[in-house]
Structure 1
Amino acid sequence: MSSSLPAVLRPLTRAVTYTRWVHLLIATVAGVLTGYLRYEARHAGAGVWLWYATLPVPVLMLAALVPAMRRVEGVQARLLLVPGPQDPEGRATAGISTAPSRSWRDRGRTAGWLLLRLEAGVAVSALTVQLPTLAVAFARAAAGQRSAFTGLPAIEAPHWWYGLLVPLPLVVLFAVVVGAGSLMAAAAPLLLGPSAAERLASLEARTERLLEHNRLAQELHDSIGHALTVSVVQAGAARAAGSDEFTDRALAAIEETGRQALEDLERALRLLRQDAPRPADRPALTEAERLLESARAAGSAVHAEFGGPLETLPGPVSREGYRMVQEALTNVLRHAGPVPVSVRIAAGADTLELEVRNPLPGGSAVPAGGDQGRGLRGIRERAALLGGEAETGPGDDGEWRVRVRLPLRRLG
């Protein structure tokens, strides 16, 4: 409907025009309260608006020193100057901060905003009262009645042609309201916008969220990929064996692996729904035995060697180490099948060492897709983020090796 109206009338149909008008009228409250403290303000006619525009200034300057005032003004500006639904990132009102003042610069900008809002609000409020009154005076004069309203010149000689002037004050009021509202909406990001420190903090928080989401995506890849690989290997082995007993064991292993994958999926989804993920919910190296059992259930003969107090490892190292072992075993099952695997997890005083070895299929130098997949790259990335290093590739003895060394001292 509004699209068919002339552009000059379109603001009449927009709710934001009226919320901005309300925002400006509210600004006059401080002037009214302080103005009525003076006797003259109650009898000065149109001059009362001058009192309203000047008397509250010292009070507002003192109020700007209160850190919470910036939050109050920011909330009002967001609700009334730029109302409407916001996207998840808050971009619709990203230019207006709702944080309290943290520096004298913030307080100075808040003082400037309060002063601008007061003066613009008093001007708009005065016109909101006087211009409709003037339209009524013109209408009375057009009807042949003399009019004398406080603050307006008296019309001593009424005439019908005054009727032509009736719409003029209302048009002027409409133009002033739209213009003043647009002015306040443009000034709000300048005077109430986030400081450089706030923008930096917001950017860092957003970066942390993106990194956390990327990490969860990697974990889902590792966990679900491991479960699917084990299930595929188990199903293929059961079909080839043709044994009811082996098939039952394979189905039990698939069921257990699927249950663990569902737990990991639920954990990841729960973390995504929370503002502050809880890393303690993630599996650690103390639970590595379930990975080994999963590989054994898929048909691999797993030889494991554990050394050192794994339960005392720093949380980030233990959790990331678990995922590295999981991905290394998944890589073995995916590219080499149910072959013998050697796993060594050794926690020393300064270093955690992880090693997964398996014979190369068919004597090939590199398993198909081995070093090109996301999994091995993820192992190297995890190690680098912890200040360690990871080596993946074929050894001289015809085995594929994944070796990881992670420092403990700096994280302990």
Structure 2
Amino acid sequence: LCLLGIFGFILSFFLWLYAEKYQTLYQDFHQIRDDSEEHALLLSEKNKALLEKQDYEIYAATLRERNRIAREIHDNVGHVLSRSILMTAACKTINKNDALDPLLGNLEESLNGAMNSIRSSVHDLHDDAVDLEDAIKGLVKDFTFCPVKLTYDMSRQIPREVKYSLISITKEGLSNVMRHSNADSVNILLREHPALYQLCIEDNGTPGNGIPDIQTEADINKEKSTSGGMGLSNIRDRAKALGGTVQITQENGFRIFVTIPKSVSN
């Protein structure tokens, strides 16, 4: 019985050692698995960030190339056409041969048509090359009245009219803060939803601190007559032109909330 007891004790001791080793190996396995999953997740996020950075660099390079092409067309082809138009006009002035009048007139008309086409192409290239995020960040950087927090969540494929409207509304909103508000902070939110674009400009100024209250057509006409059409009426007009809406509140500071539907803007 003593030998059996000693044997049982030794067996229990070895079983306990093996159980401890198994528990240690089990914990190490789970730690390695968790570390591996974490590393895989970090690697996936880094790859996603690299792809987004690459896409942005390609997008920025495309915009720079469009601007370069627009400048080349304007500076080279545009100047040549302008000189040709002036020379044609001079020839028409000094021409004494009536037979050449129709020819010179057709030449001048063709050159003017080419110049209009060049101007239109340059204008389209330049408009398409405007980056909304860079433009908004430029407005925020130049605004020194008070700190501005910008939240930007928009895709890169935004219609030209929407881009220019959002830029103008943001510029007008910041101008209103500087002219009418005693705020010490401004929040700007630009976000794209599946069916609409959203812009919100709000500050923490004192409610009713000299900011015009525009809610009706009469208020809009009154502000236009006193400020030359600038201010909040311009914001409403720009949003309305794209089928959008504007909500203005003065409860906790001043807030401009603009929505532009994609179905109309596209």
Query: Under a length normalisation based on structure 1, what TM-score does the superposition of the two structures give?
Result: 0.31
Larger radius of gyration: 1
Q: Larger relative CO (CA 8 A, sep 6+): 1 or 2?
A: 2
